[in-house]
């Protein structure tokens, strides 16, 4: 049977795709069905046909899957953020565990026996809502020309007005409403991507879940905001829900997990100038309008009462899910097996979070990171936590590591890597192998590039000791993985 665009077909959904979409067959023809849940029987409208497979969208759920739940957010089908919100959380975890395993088999070329012997159960979240500490909201106009803040619709740059995302802190809504009302009152325009005109592009909000400190940064297509003091007045006038609101429950939850939240309050307001016609959100230059340049937060790890305090600037990377991050870092420390004497390299170190936890248990730590502001933060963080055995280098891991090896003859006992989605550069992997560390700890936010890189490391004389997925991004298709490798003697 030949299908074409706009045909409506009945499909039994038997699998979940890479982006969380349902996969099923219509008379042998494979369809990737957006918004379908594994176990559903759906009527789906075909949106795109290729020779051997096609794409479709759910028109009607005929028989719902036992794993189907009612999504909390009414925008979840339009929004690009939560691809699997209609899938029961426990089943999401199974999906992510499988996704990591499948990638290791298919791309890594490992055997099922090898992987099953080392893979531990995924670490899930106790409360998979309101877990994100950072969001960047695009500002724009709806069809009637009203000023809105929200999210990009899936695969587009159309903005859906929604200031109440279920993944972020509930205070974000009030902050965004305050920004919008300041803009309306002062006739401040929003940026229009099509023409490159208009001023306000995005609002970045980042919250320290432990300290309660909030940073608000407006990304603008110009040098200044009109009536800046009005914005400051609006934002600093906000008072967030007190002791008896919904927030309190969340706080209790957090205490249970050793992350408690201080009183939420805005401590930093800034603008970032971005006049480029680009998809990159933040500009390079940041100017503080009010309060501090950075916010503070702190992290601890399970089984230890020690906490490390971090200072975080708007341009620095900081893990978005602090509660799960603590569990992830706990595993990183376990996998590193430090006794106090080791030399450790922490590549892609951001503001030095992993580096500083390692430094407390190692001889010496070298952190490498490409963003200069993040390295400034890392050095400041070492100082404020009185950690003297960590040094930080600005640059690409694939350039700095070979220099440390060739010029300084550095031979680390342990190398930790935590690269962005594209994984490690080959030059970086080759240098790691040449340095012959006893152990490598690989933290990854993309199982496909992880599998590719593990293959190279294993061909270079390493074996996988442990693999564990950690759910940092509930309701989205993303999964974090941590792997322990050791050198074969």
Which residues would be at the binding site for ligand SAH (CB under 6 A)?
317-319, 348-350, 353-354, 368-371, 374, 396-398, 418, 420
Judge whether 329 and 434 are in contact, CB under 8 Å.
no
| 3-state SS, residue 178 | helix
Judge whether 26 and 78 are in contact, CB under 8 Å.
no
Nearer to ligand SAH, 77 or 307 (CB): 307
Q: Pairing state of beta strands 200-207 and 213-220?
A: antiparallel
Q: Rounded to the nearest whole angstrom, what is the least distance from the CB of residue 263 to ligand SAH in the complex?
A: 25
Nearer to ligand SAH, 318 or 392 (CB): 318
Judge whether 238 and 176 are in contact, CB under 8 Å.
no
In sequence order, what are the residues at sequence separation of 6 or more whose Cβ sits closer than 8 angstroms to the Cβ of residue 164? 170, 172, 173
Q: How many CB atoms lie within 10 A of CB 73?
A: 18
Cα angle vertex 209, ends 252, 251, to 5°?
A: 10
Nearer to ligand SAH, 211 or 319 (CB): 319
Nearer to ligand SAH, 9 or 374 (CB): 374
Please name every residue paired with 30 in a beta bridge, in sequence order, or none if there are none.
25, 53
* CA–CA distance, 260 with 252 (Å, rounded to integer): 7
Nearer to ligand SAH, 349 or 467 (CB): 349
Could you identify the residue written with the tokens 């001023």?
199
Q: Rounded to the nearest whole angstrom, what is the least distance from the CB of residue 367 to ligand SAH in the complex?
A: 9
DSSP labels, 365-377: EEEEES-HHHHHH
Q: Rounded to the nearest whole angstrom, what is the least distance from the CB of residue 66 to ligand SAH in the complex?
A: 36
Nearer to ligand SAH, 22 or 412 (CB): 412
C-alpha distances (whole Å) from 332 to each of 49, 338, 352, 443, 488 are: 44, 10, 14, 8, 20
* CA–CA distance, 396 with 37 (Å, rounded to integer): 41
Q: Rounded to the nearest whole angstrom, what is the least distance from the CB of residue 401 to ligand SAH in the complex?
A: 9
Could you identify the residue written with the tokens 């899957």?
65
Quote the distance between the C-alpha of residue 10 and its chain's center: 35
DSSP labels, 119-148: EEEEE--SS-SS--SEEEEEEEE-TT--EE
Residue 398 tokens, joined: 């694939």
Could you identify the residue written with the tokens 């322990």?
484
Q: Rounded to the nearest whole angstrom, what is the least distance from the CB of residue 74 to ligand SAH in the complex?
A: 32
Rounded to 5 degrees, what are φ and ψ at 236?
A: -75, -15
Q: Rounded to the nearest whole angstrom, what is the least distance from the CB of residue 448 to ligand SAH in the complex?
A: 16
Q: Rounded to the nearest whole angstrom, what is the least distance from the CB of residue 368 to ligand SAH in the complex?
A: 6
> Which residue is nearest to ligand SAH, using beta carbons?
350
In sequence order, what are the residues at sequence separation of 6 or more whose Cβ sits closer than 8 angstroms to the Cβ of residue 432? 401, 415, 417, 424, 440, 457, 460
Q: Where are the alpha helices (DSSP H) in 166-321?
A: 171-185, 228-236, 246-256
Nearer to ligand SAH, 38 or 368 (CB): 368
Q: Pairing state of beta strands 119-123 and 462-470?
A: parallel
In sequence order, what are the residues at sequence separation of 6 or more whose Cβ sits closer than 8 angstroms to the Cβ of residue 237? 178
- 445 flagged as catalytic: yes
* CA–CA distance, 409 with 392 (Å, rounded to integer): 17
Q: Rounded to the nearest whole angstrom, what is the least distance from the CB of residue 202 to ligand SAH in the complex?
A: 18
Nearer to ligand SAH, 190 or 315 (CB): 315
| 3-state SS, residue 445 | coil
Nearer to ligand SAH, 420 or 461 (CB): 420
Q: Which of 165, 345, 424, 445 is catalytic?
A: 445
Q: Rounded to the nearest whole angstrom, what is the least distance from the CB of residue 425 to ligand SAH in the complex?
A: 6
Query: Residues, the chain, total?
Result: 489
Catalytic residues: 445
């Amino acid at each position: 049977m030949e299908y074409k665009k706009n045909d409506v077909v009945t499909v039994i959904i038997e699998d979940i795709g890479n982006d969380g979409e349902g996969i099923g067959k219509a008379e042998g023809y494979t369809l990737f069905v957006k918004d379908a849940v594994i176990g559903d029987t759906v009527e789906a409208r075909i949106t795109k046909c290729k020779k051997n497979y096609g794409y479709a969208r759910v028109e009607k759920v005929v028989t719902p899957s036992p794993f189907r739940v009612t999504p909390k957010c009414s925008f979840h089908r339009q929004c690009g953020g939560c691809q699997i919100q209609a899938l029961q959380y426990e089943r999401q975890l199974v999906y992510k565990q499988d996704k990591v395993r499948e990638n290791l088999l298919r791309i890594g070329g490992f055997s099922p026996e090898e992987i099953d012997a080392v893979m531990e159960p995924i670490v899930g979240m106790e409360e998979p809502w309101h877990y994100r500490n950072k969001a960047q909201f695009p500002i724009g106009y709806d069809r009637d020309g009203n000023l809105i803040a929200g999210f990009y619709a899936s695969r587009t740059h159309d903005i859906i007005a929604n200031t109440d995302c279920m993944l972020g802190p509930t205070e974000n809504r009030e902050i965004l409403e305050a920004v919008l009302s300041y803009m309306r009152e002062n006739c401040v325009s929003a940026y229009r991507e099509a023409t490159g005109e208009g001023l306000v592009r995005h609002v970045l909000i980042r919250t320290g879940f432990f300290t309660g400190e909030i940073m608000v940064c407006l990304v603008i297509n110009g040098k200044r905001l009109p009536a800046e003091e009005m914005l400051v007045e609006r934002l600093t006038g906000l008072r967030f829900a007190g002791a008896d609101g919904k927030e309190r429950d969340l706080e209790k939850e957090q205490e249970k997990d050793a992350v408690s939240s201080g009183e939420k309050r805005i401590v930093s307001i800034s603008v970032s100038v971005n006049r480029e016609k680009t998809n990159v959100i933040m500009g390079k230059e940041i100017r503080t309008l009010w309060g501090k340049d950075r916010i503070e937060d702190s992290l601890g790890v399970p089984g230890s009462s020690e906490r490390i305090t971090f200072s975080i600037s708007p341009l620095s990377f900081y893990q978005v899910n602090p509660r799960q991050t603590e569990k992830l870092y706990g595993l990183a420390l376990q996998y590193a097996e430090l006794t106090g004497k080791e030399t450790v390299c922490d590549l892609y170190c951001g503001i030095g979070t992993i580096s500083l936890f390692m430094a407390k248990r190692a001889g010496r730590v070298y952190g490498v990171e490409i963003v200069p502001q993040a390295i400034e933060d890392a050095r400041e963080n070492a100082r404020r936590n009185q950690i003297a055995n960590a040094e930080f280098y600005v640059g690409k891991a694939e350039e700095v590591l070979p220099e440390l090896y060739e010029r300084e003859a550095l031979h680390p006992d342990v190398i930790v890597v935590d690269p962005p989605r594209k994984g490690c550069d080959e030059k970086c992997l080759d240098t790691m192998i040449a340095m012959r560390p006893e152990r490598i700890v690989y933290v990854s936010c993309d199982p496909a590039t992880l599998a590719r890189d593990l293959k190279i490391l294993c061909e270079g004389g390493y074996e996988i000791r442990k693999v564990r997925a950690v759910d940092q991004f509930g309701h989205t298709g993303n999964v974090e993985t941590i792997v322990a490798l050791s050198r074969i003697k």
